[in-house]
Amino acid sequence: MRYLEICSVALIVLIGCQLPAASAANGRGELTIEAVDKDTGKPLAVRMILRDVRGKAIRPPTKTPFWHDHFTFDGTITLDLAPGSYTFEMEHGPEYKTRYGNFEIERGAEDTKVVDLHRVVNMRKEKWYAGDLHLARDPAEVELLMRAEELDIVADVTWWNNKSLWDKRPLPTDPLLRSSDGRFAQILGGRDERAGASLLLLNLTKPFALGAAGQEFPSPFAIVGQAREQAAAHIAARSATLWDLPALVAAGQLDSLVVASESLQRDEIQAPAAWEKPKDGALYPGTTGAGRWSQEAYFHLLNCGLRIAPAAASGSGLTTNPAGYNRVYVYCEEFSPEAWWDGLKQGRVVITNGPLLRPLVNEQPPGHVFQAEKGQTVELSIALNLATREKIEYLEVIQNGKVVHETRLDEWAKAGGRLPTVKFDRSGWLMIRAVTNAAKTYRFAMTAPYYVEIGYERTVSKKSAQFMLDWLTERARRITLTDPEQRQAVMQFHRQARDFWQQKVAEANAE
C-alpha cells in the first residue's frame, strides 16, 4: 500500500458567536479543534504544528506538551489566538495520513471544528510494534506522546553525565510506565558521553554515577560494566559511527546499534558530535551523505561476519525531532516489553523515519538465519508491504553491502508486492531499503539483515576487517591521557580490540 500527503482541510472561523468576557475584552478569537479517527469517530491524541501568517510556530497558551515547533494534545484543544491567518499540520504517527489546513481568526470569533485523520496502515495488526530508543522528555508527558505518535515502547533518558532528573525527585518504584492502551515507557534510561563514545543505557532499574561528559577516563567499558550489573540492561550505541565502535564491537559490548540516529532530523542533518568519526565528504557528499556513511559503517561490521541489530532513536528533547521521528519496529508474535526488547536484540526489526516496510523473506521476518550444507545454494524470495508519504524511486535489495536489485514501485506493484529472488552460494546477508526524495534530510526505511550461513561458516571480508582495524588505529592515536594508570586502564581495551581485528584480517575468507 502506498499513500501520499495529499489530504488537507480548511477551517474558517466565523464571526458573531459570543466569546467569554476575557477573550472578548482582549480582542482575540477562539477555536476548539477536535481530532478524531476518520473511520471510528473516536478521539485521537495528535501532534500539531500551528503557524501564523509569517510562518512562525505558535505555542498555544495551554498546559500541553510543546517542543521546538510542535505541541501534543489529547483529542481536543481550545486555541485562544490573535486575529489573523494560520496554517496547521496535524499527525498521529506515520500510520495515518498527515492533515494540512488553514483557518482565519477574526476578532470576537468562536467556533469548533472536527479534523478527521485517516489510518492507512495498522502495524500492530501485522505484529510490528514501534519503539524509540531515546527520548529526553519530561516523564509526565511520555504517556501522551506515545499515544499521539503510535509508539508502543520508548526509552526516556532521565539521567546522564553529572545530571539526573531524580536528584530532586524520588525514584519511581516501578521504572516501567504503563498506559491504559498497552504502551510502555522505560523512564530510567541513561545516556553517557565519553571522548570516543556515547551509549544509551536502557532497561535499567536504577541510575548510577557517570561523572563528567567528554572524558577519556573512565572508559566506556567501565560504564558498560556497571550497567551490566543490572540483569536486563540493554546497551545501545547512540550512533553507528562512534570513534570507539570497533573496540566496543570487538568486546561484544553492544546489544544494538542506532543506525537511524538523532542526527537525522525532519528538515536537516545535524553535524557530527565530538564522539563520532566524521564522514569523508568526497565519498559521502550532499544531504544523503550522513545517512549513507552511518549505514556503510554498519555494513562493514556485517561483512566481518558479525551480527548486531540496527536500531533507531529520535533524541526528542535534545534535537528538534518529535518523539518517534526515527523509530524501530520490532516483529513480535505476542507483544510484551520483554518480547520487544528480545526481538530488538535478535534483529527482528525495521528502522525508519519515513516509509513503512513490512518484509517477509521465505515467510520469515528480519534477523532470521537461513542455513544450508556446504555446496548447497540458498534462494531467498522477498515479499514486501510498503506505505510511504513521500516519493520513492526505487526499492533496493542489498546483498553483502552492495545493491543487487533496484525495483521501481510500479514494477513492484505489478509483481504483486514481490522483489526479485536473491541467490547465495556462500554465507552472507541481505536487507531491503527504501530512500525517499526528501530534499533537506535523509529519509529512509531499512530492514535488519537476513543471514545466510552455508557450511556453518561465516564469510569475513578482508577489506571490511581492515577498514575496522584502521578505524581502531586512528582512534587510539587520538587518546592523549598522560596519567600512566588511567592510560593503561583505557588502552587495554584497545589492545584487545587490535588483536581481535588483526585476527579477523588474518582469517578473512573473502575480499
Main-chain dihedrals φ then ψ at residue 494, nearest 5 degrees: -70, -35
pLDDT value, residue 10: 41
Strand partners, 186: 155, 176
Q: Quick: pLDDT tens for 288-331.
A: 898 999 999 999 999 999 999 999 999 999 999 999 999 999 99
Using DSSP bridges, classify how beta strands 369-372 and 378-387 pair: parallel, antiparallel or unpaired. Answer: unpaired
Strands (DSSP E) found in 97-224 = 99-105, 110-117, 128-135, 153-160, 163-164, 176-178, 184-193, 198-202
Name the residue with cell 560504564. Answer: 223
Closest to 238 measured CA to CA, from 274, 266, 286 = 274
pLDDT value, residue 4: 30
SS (H, E, C) 266-316: CCCECCCCCCECCCCCCCCCCCCHHHHHHHHHHHHHHHCCCCCEEEECCCE
Cα–Cα dist 424/376, whole Å: 9
Cα–Cα dist 109/185, whole Å: 40
Sheet with 418-424: list strands edge to edge: 356-361, 378-387, 418-424
Closest to 102 measured CA to CA, from 87, 117, 85, 84 = 87
Cα–Cα dist 312/329, whole Å: 9
Chunked in runs of 10, what are the mean pLDDT values of the chain (511 residues)?
36 40 66 97 98 96 92 97 96 98 93 96 98 98 98 99 95 94 98 98 97 96 98 98 99 98 96 96 91 98 99 98 99 98 99 98 99 98 96 96 97 97 99 96 98 97 99 97 97 98 98 95
Cα–Cα dist 461/305, whole Å: 8
Main-chain dihedrals φ then ψ at residue 373, nearest 5 degrees: -75, 155
Q: Which three cell numbers stand for residue 115?
A: 479534523
| Cα pseudo-dihedral 167, 157, 344, 381, rounded to 10 | 180
Q: What is the pTM of this model?
A: 0.94
pLDDT value, residue 61: 81
Q: Quick: pLDDT tens for 190-236.
A: 999 999 999 999 999 999 999 999 999 999 999 999 999 999 999 99
pLDDT value, residue 84: 95
Name the residue with cell 519503539. Answer: 131
**Buried b or exposed e, range 219-228, using 16+ CB within 10 angstroms:** bbbebbebbe
Cis before 218 (ω within 30):
yes
pLDDT value, residue 62: 81
Helix, strand, coil share (%) of the chain residues, nearest 5: 20, 35, 40
